[in-house]
């Protein structure tokens, strides 16, 4: 899976890894999570073109209207299957950084949620766009 997305793990020790997905159409999808040292996570994000100075946040600042639907600021940051996989319980009283500009060399884009844990950071990633993942390199 990681090879299909041209995604490497951070160059440091990681803990609590979870992983699911498939790389064949139509279900091109990848979700993973891990915990790593804060400085390593920051470098990992920078190496994947993330502008760490401009995150969005969870919970959102207010309700969002999309079409006819009003979305709550505390709606889960990932789809239900991935929230269950991650066993992610977020406290809406806290504010978490979310980045949507994490890109791999195959142009796959990920949403990344960061959960501070002292000197460590929990990293939760869900593919948003598959880029060239489904295309064979020749």
What pLDDT is recorded for position 21?
77
Neighbours of 49 (CB within 10 A): 12
101 domain residue, yes or no:
yes
What pLDDT is recorded for position 48?
94
88 domain residue, yes or no:
yes
138 domain residue, yes or no:
no
134 domain residue, yes or no:
no
42 domain residue, yes or no:
yes
What is the number of structural domains in the chain? Answer: 1
What pLDDT is recorded for position 24?
62
Segments in the chain below pLDDT 70: 22-27, 62-66, 133-138
36 domain residue, yes or no:
yes
Cα(22)–Cα(138) distance, integer angstroms: 21
Report long-range pairs for 103-106 (Cβ below 8 Å, ≥24 apart). Answer: 103/48, 103/49, 103/131, 104/5, 104/6, 104/7, 104/48, 104/131, 105/6, 106/4, 106/5, 106/6, 106/131, 106/132, 106/133
> What average pLDDT does the structure give for the chain?
85
What pLDDT is recorded for position 119?
95
Strands (E), 9-119: 15-22, 29-37, 56-58, 64-66, 69-71, 96-103, 109-117
Domain range for 74 is: 2-129
137 domain residue, yes or no:
no
47 domain residue, yes or no:
yes
What pLDDT is recorded for position 19?
85
């Amino acid at each position: 899976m990681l090879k299909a997305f041209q995604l490497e793990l951070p160059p440091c020790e990681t803990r609590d890894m979870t992983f699911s997905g498939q790389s064949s159409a139509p279900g091109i999808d990848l979700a993973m999570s891990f915990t790593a040292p804060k400085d390593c996570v920051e470098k990992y994000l920078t190496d994947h073109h993330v502008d760490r100075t401009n995150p969005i946040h969870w919970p959102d600042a207010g309700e969002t209207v999309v079409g006819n639907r009003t979305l709550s600021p505390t709606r889960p940051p990932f789809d239900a299957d991935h929230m269950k996989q991650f066993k992610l319980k977020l406290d809406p009283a806290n504010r978490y950084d979310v980045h949507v500009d994490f890109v791999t060399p195959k142009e796959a884009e990920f949403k990344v949620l960061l959960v501070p844990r002292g000197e460590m950071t929990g990293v939760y990633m869900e593919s948003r766009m598959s880029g060239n993942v489904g295309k064979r390199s020749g």
